Chain A
Amino acid sequence: MRYTQFTDSDVKHMLSTIGVKSIDELFKPVPAGLRLKGALDIPSGLSELELLDDVGALAANNSPCCERVCFLGGGAYDHFIPTMVDSLAGQTEFLTAYTPYQAEASQGVLQLFYEFQTMICMLTGMEVANASLYEGATATAEAVTMATAITRRNKAIVVDNVHPDTLSVLKTYDRDRHVETVAVPAAGGVVDEAALRAALGKDTACVVIQSPNFYGCVERLDRIIPMIHEHGALAIVAADPLAGGVLKTPGEFDADLVVGEGQCLGIPLQYGGPYLGLLAGREKYLRKMPGRVVGVAEDAQGRRGFCLVLQAREQHIKRERATSNVCTNQGLMAIRASIYMAAMGRKGIAEVASQCFDKAHYAADQIASLDGYELAFDAPFFKEFAVRTTHDVPTVLASCRKRGIEAGVHLGRFGDRLNDCFVVAVTEKRTKAQIDDLVDALQDA
């Protein structure tokens, strides 16, 4: 492939305009001793057909979960993606534009991000949201940074039933940024309120709670958040943006910041990324937020427009005093999510949430009635739940896979403690017949 368009005579003309004899002369500043001798050790270029064969063969050498019936979750879900999303987000005006620094030339996407921010507020019950971060775990790390800046305290408490990657990422970030993250153990799958109370102190900047958590359990935010506030700490809730169709939003419980993984909003699984980091919060924290934020502005004639606002928070203005180093974020994923939310609308999103809830509960009831299987926890859940079994979990999952079913995510892969458990996610896409097949497969395993 070649994407350059200069002909040999173009090159000649250009060189003579510049006043050099060869392209090589333009590389004069690179000292001879530092020049690469010979060519890079990378295969030579391919034609389009050869390239399609090469990538096509690699694509074909996967057996994507969606070729089977997929009950895998753990932060990445097989939700239905309406045709509208690919069709409209695929417009190359969106695909091939840069971050909208030049407002007049970017009104379309600026308005789109404004709408995105608004809809994320609606789903989380918060007052303001930014225009995206990388993904759920780094969004959580950014929220912790925000909380330490707001409270001027440096201890973060994290309940250990959050996504394991969130815990890992917080640990990685903390080592260098002088924040101390303390993991408080969960009990019965949910926050151990006594342990949390004991851990809270005057130095606590924030508590990170995921609800529904990694095991699918819904947390008692109604009791936990007031407890956090009593200590002057901020409540950061990692939420499933779809859960608002069935459950109260974190905002209704007075959460200070809401983070989340937005993959469920119309983004394909893609083997783990690119996904969409969500960050929403109370209005009074807007100036401490990281990332792009779009707002309404007027031109000299009083016409409504949109532009990036509060840029003085960001690295290109504030440099080492910026709220974060984030620059490129997940623009196109926010565009997808926006189109997904708009296409679903109020009715659609409620229906998706409701079906996830009903189907997950149907599946849980059936599985729990099998010999050798029980629900690992009795806390309420939304679309995902943990199953404990007396059988060997990898064997069970492998046997389901042979029958064309991805039955769930083995919790043993994240540590020994729940080695006898796996988590089953049931989206609105699953049918009763598919769930019944899963139940049969588990029974036979």
Chain B
Amino acid sequence: MITLSDIPARSQMPLTLPMGIFVVVMATAPFWLARVGLYQYLGVEIAIWVLFAMGFNLLFGYTGLHSFGHGAYLGIGAYAFGLFQHHAAISLWGGLFAAIAAASVAGAVVGAFLSHRRGIYYALLTIGFGQVFWFSAMKLHWLTGGEDGLLNIPRPDLVIGPWRFDLNDNAVFYWFVAAITIAAVLLMWRVVNAPVGRVLQAIRQNETRARFVGYDVWRWKWLAFTISAAFAGLAGGLFSMAQQSAYPDVMSLHQSGIIVMMVLVGGGLVSFWGPVLGVVLYFVARDVLGGLTEAWLLWYGLLFVIMVMVRPEGMAGLLHVLLRRTSGQVSTVKPEKA
């Protein structure tokens, strides 16, 4: 089976073909979304979830640390953005900064408890902490508005020099979100190919060996968790702008499970781009299947089960095999020994 470490180990190119496709598709979406029967807001959702999923995969796929409570950090980002607008100032950058900061702090604190653990204990603790945050969001009525959440979160104008953009315009808002997502994804691409990313992958492959060549594994695991929480927080800030509200549901175990499914179905374990495919498939399935049947999530779940059974490398792995076959290229990866 191919793995993440196959992804262009020797490539020194800052830009690759998938990167080009990603940027072009993201940048042009408002022009063709409606023509293929979709709508503007779907683009916003996809862009936000791509950001969330890619940041999550730094932890899940690259470092091999299985968090099942990551929705919490998205939620914390969303609340932080909203609270900042309501209590501090109406400020776009202030709100996004607050979202990143709050999620990072929460991630750093939780990460400190998690990073001694591995395997199932790690996963269980992430669920536990996720539930604590979700429960707090439900119960701290004075802060979070309880089950109803924070309402009427404004979308402050984007001001760049002399220009002022009204983000209440959905197309403008989309481009804003897409620009942030593209920038974050470019940054993550650099990070995973830099020594930082290599060390994280080394820890996934063999924690003990990493320790014995001199890496403080605890600190690296903590760092991976904190960084992925920070990206989740940014995604959460954008999400609260998109929804103009923040509510506990995104922090639920169920939502945290969906991000895991997206990443796995897309092929986050074998490809940097896997989460993007997974997110797109999820939302398109939701809208297309969802238009046909109320039980679309059942079909999606079934797809997930089948995928895990027959193609654990997900869509990215499937694509990898198909491309190789059609281009008639000789396989450089030896077939898996049984």
A and B: real partners? Answer: no
